[in-house]
Structure 1
Amino acid sequence: MDETELLTAAREATANAHVPYSEYRVGAALETADGTVFRGCNIENANYSNSLHAEEVALAEAVKNGHHDFSRLVVASSERDGVLPCGMCRQSLWEFCDEDFRVLCDEGDSVSEYRLGDLLPDAISAETLGR
C-alpha cells in the first residue's frame, strides 16, 4: 500500500471513533511487514483512563490476528493537526518494532514522519528487564 492509501485508511478510521466527551476523533492505520493493514480508532470512556487509543486498537487487532512484524503507522485526527502517538502507545509499539519503525502523522496538506526511536528514546524493552 502506498503512503496516500495508508493515510486514507487512517482518516477513514476516524469515522468509527467513539468520542462523546472530547469529540476528538483519531484513526490509525498500522501496516504489517507483509502489507496487511489494520485500522484502529479511539474509543472513549467516561472514566478517561479506560479509554482506548487508535494506535493500540490497531496494534491489538493485528496481534490478535497473528502479526508481530510491522513496517509503519499512520495516525490522523479529524482536525488534521499532526497528532502524534502518546507515550503509552509509543511504548506499546516498541514491544514489536525497532527504533527505525516509521510513524507518519497527518498534517492535513502534508505528512510528518518520525522514527519510533526518536519519539521514545530509552524505551523499556526485554533487554531493560534483563531478558
Structure 2
Amino acid sequence: MASALSDQQVEDLITQALDARQNSYSPYSKFRVGAALRTIEGKVYQGCNVENASYGGAICAERTAFVKAVSEGHRRFVAIAVSCDFNNFISPCGICRQFMNEFGKNLEIFFVNSDRTYKRAVLEDLLPFSFGPEDLPDTTNDVPEK
C-alpha cells in the first residue's frame, strides 16, 4: 500500500523528526529520539524523548508529539516519523503503539535512520488484534473517527 503523503510531505516529516532529536532530554540512556506527527489538517507536531531519574517517569518522543497535538485540539492524524541518532530503524515501543491506536489503526509510521533512509508501516500491522475505543461499550466521548 502506497503512502497517503506526497514525497515532499514525507521528506518534511523526516526532516522534522530528525530535528526533534535536538531537544531530547536523555542524560541516562544517551539515546535521543525525535518524532514528527502530521495531523489530517497538515499541521506537524514534533516530540522528543524526556527521561527521568526514576526511569518509569520517562516519556517517549511519539507520545510527546501526540500529547502536544491533542492538547492543541487535534484528534485525527495521518502519519508519524520516528528517528534516532543511529542507522538502525527503530520502532515505537508497545505503550506508544497502544497510545497511537487510540487515534486510528491506519496511521502511517516512518522509521527513520540518521542518513534519512526509512521504512514505512501502518499501525494496524504493528499492533494486530489491538484493543481500542471501539471495543468499549457506550463510548460517547470524543473518540476519533477510524
Post-superposition, which runs of at least 4 consecutive aligned residues in structure 1 deviate over 4 A?
Answer: none
Instruction: Please report the RMSD computed on the Cα atoms of aligned residues, expressed in angstroms.
Output: 1.2
Please name the residue that 2:101 is paired with.
94
Q: CA deviation at 1:47?
A: 1.2
Q: CA deviation at 1:125?
A: 1.0
1:25 equivalent in alignment to 2:49: no
1:124 equivalent in alignment to 2:115: no
CA distance in 2, matches of 1:105, 1:46: 27
Q: Which moved more, 1:76-85 or 1:9-18?
A: 76-85
CA distance in 2, matches of 1:130, 1:70: 24
CA distance in 1, matches of 2:72, 2:32: 25
Please name the residue that 2:80 is paired with.
73
Structure 2, unaligned stretches of length 5 or more? 1-7, 139-146
Q: Secondary structure at the match of 2:56?
A: helix
1:15 equivalent in alignment to 2:16: no
CA distance in 1, matches of 2:18, 2:127: 24
Contact 2:14/2:116 (<8 A) preserved: no
Q: CA deviation at 1:4?
A: 1.0
Structure 1, unaligned stretches of length 5 or more? none
Q: Secondary structure at the match of 1:85?
A: coil
> TM-score if structure 1 supplies the norm length?
0.94
The number of equivalent residue pairs is 130
Please name the residue that 2:144 is paired with.
none
